Structure 1
Amino acid sequence: MCKPNPLKIVDIKSNSNETPKEFLNALTTQGFVFIDGHDFTSKEVNTLFQLSKAFFELPMSYKEQFAKTEGNTGYISFNRENLDPTRKNDFKEGLNISDLNLVTGEPSSEAPVPDWIKEAERYELVTSVIRKFNILTLKLLELLAIGLNIDDTETLKGRDWFVSRYRPDAKSGSTLRFLHYPKLNFDSNPVGEVRAGAHTDYGSMTLLFQKQNQEGLEIFSQISGKWEKVPYIETGKFPGMAPPIVMNIGDLASYWTAGLLKSTIHRVRFESQDEKQSEDRYSIVFFSHPNDETLLEPVPSDLIKSRSKSGVAKDTKYITALQHLHRKLASTYDV
């Protein structure tokens, strides 16, 4: 029996003139959407999940040698993060790979990336998918700009407004993240265990692969006003391609558009024993951020202008993408 799906599925390979409108509509109503036609193969995504699982099975003593410190790269141990300050810390572990050169897909040489990841075949896969995530991000940003009908300037076409703020060789907060949520032990864990507290994402957009029988993502629907489960969708339109990827808007895109694009609250919540949450959850996430110095100023679109004028003083000083990221990380890690 198919699980109900609260999200639209948008085929970005379609050449239809309606695709940008369909994409924009999903992001102004739910803030989340399934993207089909993304060009990730089933083989490479399955291999990436295998790599992630094998990493988290390594001894804790090894993983903690590469613990995240003041930056945003490294291993994050159980109960280290607190995405929802009204709840206890999140019982999950993760590996962040940040400080990326998006031309090569490689992190900075100073980033504490585990040697295990840097083994030749593994590293080739990781850097390849980072480049593909960035390419997909740029395609979605262009589609979004078309949907918003951003104004042309003397030097820039409106469709390039977002992309121009994503120079691939410049510093940004973009991050590849592996996550592991152990399955529930029903003798010691309550039913409906929240493993990632309710939060919005920090960047401009997020791309996420999840696996069958490892669901747990829930969004607080902008339409129904209640928590709704995001299911796993097994297949899309294209043979050999990985299932549709979950995409959602983050805080930066919401700021850029004066809230027109919804940075929707979401969480990871494990099911009750009766609903058979029998497997650990693994997810592969790419958090896309513009270049660090990018100002969170209003997008020059007629859809935004009337919204952004309300309550904004003429001498408003917009913060940068990096300043916003630092504030959110300080809250999450209590530093």
Structure 2
Amino acid sequence: MAEIDGNPLKIVDITSVDKSTAEELYDAATSQGFLFVEGHEFSQEEIDTVFQLSKEFFELPHSYKSKYPIGSMNHGYADFGGENLDPKGQKKGDPKEALNICLLNFLTGLSSQEIPDWFTEDPKRLAIITTTVKKFYALSMKILKLLAIGLKIEDSNEIKGEDWFSSRYEATKVSGSTFRFLHYPGQKSLNPEAVIRAGAHTDYGSVTLLFQQENQEGLEIYSPVSKQWVAVPFVAANTEKFPGMGPPIVVNIGDLLSYWTAGLLKSTIHRVKFPAKVQATGQDRYSIVFFSHPNDEALLEAVPSEVVRSIKGRGANKDTVAITAKEHLDSRLAATYGWKK
């Protein structure tokens, strides 16, 4: 496990799926809820390509993007101010735009829903989407297996403990997993008084994977350790150890994984707030995100682990009737977008 000056998060090399790596990942997930992982198999070239694709999409006319509005399935284009991640703390929606691609088949990397034809009319653009989606899914499954090992999930007659999570993330079944492009316009170009670009929130799913770019910082976490807001910097790739590979990817635990583990794994509050140097330059911020969710019908029941079982009255341990992953997601989306449940 590596740490870098000025970086509050641990960096874990996940090249190997073994007990030692699992313990490092588990330690970060139970203390901070956020970490960096390296050894993720995304090349620098792949990351640059998907960021360029995102930038080109957001540069398209607003009249075109708005033809694909986000709907109740969380799929489509979210316009400026259309999303409020902190409805209790903010009156206005967040000054950002996004494209969500949901209802994904992770064997093909394709959505069952319509996506902007700007992607589908060009095989190269579509291939960038499908390849990235499949790699994000594979990476999320690797992280979940390591967490299962760290939690010491018990074997059953049906399944090994290390596969407990992955059995609830079948590649072809419907889930709330979302591949997302995000664009935060520079502070000088849109709502200059709005320092907060994405309101304080926790993520709804199990694991979130995030790529950010150098000189486009802004992510902050409310540290469970220091009880203060701390900035998450850009961390450059370790090219000596991983030639050609991109920078470490930010990983954070979401509400479902925290609930499943009775709060043992931390779903940490975070936000996007442009730092002073970005405010001064007016630099736009782009990020590429994958939100991993279990299959819709997966029950949010307590993880069969002694360390989870020992926590009383929290998360799945306190409820007598388990809800499904879809029921949880529908409730959170209704609050975010102002939809009626």
Q: Same fold (TM over 0.5)?
A: yes
Equivalent of 2:155 in 152, 155, 158: 152
Provide the C-alpha distance between the structure 1 equivalents of 2:108 and 2:170, rounded to a whole number of angstroms.
Answer: 13
Alignment of 1:203-218 (within 5 A): 203-218=205-220
SS in 2 for 1:323: helix
Identity percentage over the alignment?
55
| Residue pair 1:213, 1:277 contacting (<8 A) in 2 also | no
Deviation at 1:154, TM superposition (A): 1.0
Provide the C-alpha distance between the structure 1 equivalents of 2:319 and 2:85, rounded to a whole number of angstroms.
Answer: 32
Deviation at 1:166, TM superposition (A): 0.7
1:31 alignment counterpart: 33
Structure 1 letter corresponding to 2:262: A
304-313 vs 249-258, which deviates more?
304-313
Provide the C-alpha distance between the structure 1 equivalents of 2:85 and 2:318, rounded to a whole number of angstroms.
Answer: 34
1:265 alignment counterpart: 269
| Residue pair 2:108, 2:134 contacting (<8 A) in 1 also | yes
1:320 alignment counterpart: 324
Alignment of 1:230-309 (within 5 A): 230-236=232-238, 237-272=241-276, 276-308=280-312
Per-residue CA deviations over 1:169-188 (Å, capped at 9, x if unaligned) read: 10000010000001111896
2:118 alignment counterpart: 116
Deviation at 1:220, TM superposition (A): 0.2
Deviation at 1:272, TM superposition (A): 2.5
Structure 2 letter corresponding to 1:213: N
| Residue pair 1:72, 1:96 contacting (<8 A) in 2 also | yes
1:163 alignment counterpart: 166
Structure 2 letter corresponding to 1:5: N
1:53 alignment counterpart: 55
Provide the C-alpha distance between the structure 2 equivalents of 1:149 and 1:83, rounded to a whole number of angstroms.
Answer: 34
- Structure 2: stretches of 5+ with no match in the other structure: none
SS in 1 for 2:118: coil
Structure 2 letter corresponding to 1:272: A
Residue 243 of structure 2 corresponds to residue 221 of structure 1: no
1:173 alignment counterpart: 176
Provide the C-alpha distance between the structure 2 equivalents of 1:325 and 1:188, rounded to a whole number of angstroms.
Answer: 30
1:193 alignment counterpart: 195
Deviation at 1:19, TM superposition (A): 1.1
Number of matched pairs: 331
Deviation at 1:16, TM superposition (A): 5.8
Provide the C-alpha distance between the structure 2 equivalents of 1:263 and 1:315, rounded to a whole number of angstroms.
Answer: 19
- Structure 1: stretches of 5+ with no match in the other structure: none
| Residue pair 1:173, 1:325 contacting (<8 A) in 2 also | yes
Aligned-residue Cα RMSD (Å) equals 1.9
Residue 88 of structure 2 corresponds to residue 66 of structure 1: no
Provide the C-alpha distance between the structure 2 equivalents of 1:147 and 1:216, rounded to a whole number of angstroms.
Answer: 31
